[in-house]
Amino acid sequence: MKLAVSSMIPEIDLFCAKKLGIPMKTLMQKAGIAVADAVRARVPQGKSILVLAGKGNNGGDGYAAAVELMNEYSVKVYDIFSAGQKSEEGKYFLELFKEKGGTVVNYTSLDEIKEDIRNAGGIIDAVFGTGFAGEMPEQLRPIAIAAREAVGAHKIAVDVPLGINPDNGSVSDYAITATATVSLSFIKPGIISYPARSFVGDIIYCDLGIPKDAVIESFSLRHHMVDSDWAVRNLPGREENSNKGTFGKLLIITGSERYRGAAHLSSEAALRSGVGLVTFLGCKELINELSQKYPEMIYKEKSINNSISDDDIAQICAISAEHTATLIGSGSDNTEGLGRLVLSLLDSEGTPLVLDADALNALSAMGASGILALKNAKRKVIITPHPLEFARLSMSDVANVQQHRLEAAEKFALENKLTLVLKGAGTIVVGDGEIYINTNGSSALAKAGSGDVLAGVIGALVAQGKAAPSISAALAVYLHAMAAQNLAGELSSYGVTPSDLPKEIARCMAYLEKRDLI
């Protein structure tokens, strides 16, 4: 599903009115009905409903909802800025509410609203919607805190909860935690991204009857919600008239004497994800282990350590060029030799390069020169950091990365001309000018080795070359999370191990493939 940033919403509204003949009043009325339905589904009739209305179109949606609800509930509206409504459509629903006997109170202090908040069965947050950015205005902080602390009331947010940035998902210290958020016309990227995702409750999507295809053709919507429908559309096809070369060749350089398991996990994940041929390059001890378990792979013996020679590095770069993608770094051990190899791979002509874990740590240890090597790479690069690894790469800190995941990921990927997979809850993939936000997942993935599996799946899908690296990476993220969810339903989120994931990922691909045939 395509998502829309806040700056596009007024333009889309105008497009609907001028080009599609859909009046703004009609859109506002439909928004009011959708919000009212969300209230009805959660709050028993006859209860007190409090509407916190701003002066923009979000407030107008609140007045439209108040009109819809006033015959079933005791509805009171607080005009938060004592400014009425800016638009003619908003004024229409404000006056209609008052004509029908509704009560509108100008908010001046917390004292006058405290009792209404305490007694409310539902609170409709129609203050800012997509209009919020930066710091919460000081005058609103007391009411935001009071609403947040009203544990007996269902909080229904119109489009975006108060205190949430609709575009980057950052959260004010005074943000309201909603029971549900009614997302209108297009879902905004911030509300499905962490940390904001923890504040929006159930997301109820209402397209307001807008013909979305017409809007998408006319606007550059670069954000995508990665869900099951998206995954079905982007699962690479499997031609009947094919051979192993049809589905790509992946070179894997993972694991080490210190972290042997990473090689097992990344290799099996790749083998289960549809790539035609997998070559493993590593030390003799690992090859002896892996060849007994995975006879399907081709093996090339090279030890990636501090004593690796320039000739060996040149040979590895040549082998990489013979494959349709190369994965390096999962459990590789952050050695000086690994760093030299990564730099050489970046500086050599070739097919896409997936850098995971210790490959990224090696670059981070080089400081600015490591980042410059990424930026000047002679091949397409996909990096897969978790928040700490990304903080090192971007010379930031984990807290800042987690508070600004979307904008930090987009900025880094664009500046360095690569595909970035920022792992964590709501994994973000940025590349090729597009931003993909994953919507599934499980705490079952919060275990050492899960990232090695993901790296193998990304490598396999990128190697198949059926889509842009960013789409392949986003699909891998979705499959990885889907597998964890499925297994958690069977084994609990406590009991799933990374070793369980590769075969379940294959089952997930089978499920999506069958859905695509329906």
Sign of the C-alpha dihedral, residues 311, 316, 320, 325?
Answer: negative
What the block records as the tokens of 323 is 């494959």
Query: Are residues 264 and 365 located together in one domain of the fold?
Result: yes
**Contact residues for 467 (Cβ-Cβ < 8 A; gap 6+):** 234, 236, 461, 475
Residue 227 lies in a domain: no
Residue 9 lies in a domain: yes
**Class of residue 152 by CB neighbours under 10 A (exposed 0-12, middle 13-18, buried 19+):** exposed
Query: Are residues 188 and 270 located together in one domain of the fold?
Result: no
Residue 63's closest CA among 38, 89, 93?
Answer: 93
Query: Are residues 193 and 254 located together in one domain of the fold?
Result: no
Q: What's the pTM?
A: 0.95
Residue 204 lies in a domain: yes
Q: pLDDT tens, 222-249? A: 999 999 999 999 999 998 889 999 999 9
CA-to-CA dists, residue 354 to 127, 317, 318, angstroms? 44, 14, 16
Sign of the C-alpha dihedral, residues 136, 139, 140, 141?
Answer: positive
Residue 409 lies in a domain: yes
CB 286 within 8 A of CB 254: no
- What is the residue range of 339's domain? 239-424+447-467
- Residue 140's pLDDT is 93
What the block records as the tokens of 232 is 């079905």
Query: Are residues 215 and 250 located together in one domain of the fold?
Result: no
- Residue 517's pLDDT is 64
What the block records as the tokens of 301 is 């013996």
**N residues, the chain:** 518
Report DSSP letters for 113-166, one per residue.
HHHHHHH-SEEEEES-GGG--SSPPGGGHHHHHHHHT-TTSEEEEESS-TTB-T
Residue 504 lies in a domain: no
Residue 409's closest CA among 193, 85, 103, 179?
Answer: 193
Residue 458's closest CA among 489, 487, 497, 431?
Answer: 431
CB 476 within 8 A of CB 459: no
DSSP state of 20: S
Torsion of CA 168, 89, 56, 65, to 10 degrees: -80
Query: Are residues 203 and 255 located together in one domain of the fold?
Result: no
- Residue 9's pLDDT is 94
Query: Are residues 186 and 98 located together in one domain of the fold?
Result: yes
Query: Are residues 150 and 248 located together in one domain of the fold?
Result: no
What the block records as the tokens of 217 is 């053709």
CATH of the domain at 215: 3.40.50.10260
Q: pLDDT tens, 377-435? A: 999 999 999 999 999 999 999 999 999 999 999 999 999 999 999 999 999 999 999 99
Local confidence pLDDT in tens for the 518 residues of the chain = 999 999 999 999 999 999 999 999 999 999 999 999 999 999 999 999 999 999 999 999 999 999 999 999 999 999 999 999 999 999 999 999 999 999 999 998 898 899 999 999 999 999 999 998 888 999 999 999 999 999 999 999 999 999 999 999 999 999 999 999 999 999 999 999 999 999 999 999 999 999 999 999 999 999 999 999 999 999 999 988 899 999 999 999 999 989 999 999 999 999 999 999 999 999 999 999 999 999 999 999 999 999 999 999 999 999 999 999 999 999 999 999 999 999 999 999 999 999 999 999 999 999 999 999 999 999 999 999 999 999 999 999 999 999 999 999 999 999 999 999 999 999 999 999 999 999 999 999 999 999 999 999 999 999 999 999 999 999 999 999 999 999 999 999 999 999 999 999 999 999 999 986 65
Query: Are residues 211 and 326 located together in one domain of the fold?
Result: no
Distance CA 163, CA 285 (A): 55
Residue 345 lies in a domain: yes
Torsion of CA 381, 2, 515, 487, to 10 degrees: 60
CB 464 within 8 A of CB 274: yes
CATH of the domain at 292: 3.40.1190.20
DSSP state of 324: S
- Residue 134's pLDDT is 81
Out of 219, 249, 273, a domain closes at: 219
What the block records as the tokens of 436 is 């993909």
HSE value, Cβ hemisphere, 13 Å, CA-based, for 339: 14
Query: Are residues 196 and 262 located together in one domain of the fold?
Result: no
Domain count, the chain: 2
Query: Are residues 334 and 202 located together in one domain of the fold?
Result: no
Residue 482 lies in a domain: no
Query: Are residues 134 and 16 located together in one domain of the fold?
Result: yes
Residue 439 lies in a domain: no
Distance CA 250, CA 267 (A): 10
